[in-house]
Amino acid sequence: MDPVVYAYDLTTGAIKSYEGHTSWVLSITTHIIYKEDGSIKSQWLLTGSDDTTVRIWDLNTTKCIEKLIGHTDAVTCITFANN
């Protein structure tokens, strides 16, 4: 079992990996936060896993920003809503 998410850049061939879940990743989405001038402030990757956690990753650095716990079963669907 490989609970790692891999991101492939089709232009450069670079590969990024997001490691931290202890079981299968079952859901994934991205979220972009913009500054007032319209430029990108940060880009997040959100993952839900069979390990009952949700993780928020910095898409560029691959660092886990937050680990959300409290689900009692696998997280099979994930989305992001502002506010």
Q: What is the DSSP string of the chain?
A: ----EEEE-TTT--EEEE---SS-EEEEEEEEEE-TTSSEEEEEEEEEETTS-EEEEETTT--EEEEE---SS----------
Residue 42 lies in a domain: yes
How confident is the model over 5-37, as pLDDT tens digits? 999 999 999 999 999 999 999 999 999 999 999
Res. 1: pLDDT tops 70: no
Mean pLDDT of 33-44: 95
Residue 10 lies in a domain: no
Residue 47 lies in a domain: yes
Residue 48 lies in a domain: yes
pTM of the model: 0.88
- Single-letter amino acid code for the residue at 62: T
Residue 2 lies in a domain: no
Residue 78 lies in a domain: yes
φ/ψ of 10, rounded to 5, equals: -70, -20
- The parent domain of residue 26 ranges over 22-83
Domains: count for the chain: 1
- Is beta strand 54-58 parallel, antiparallel or unpaired with respect to 64-68? antiparallel
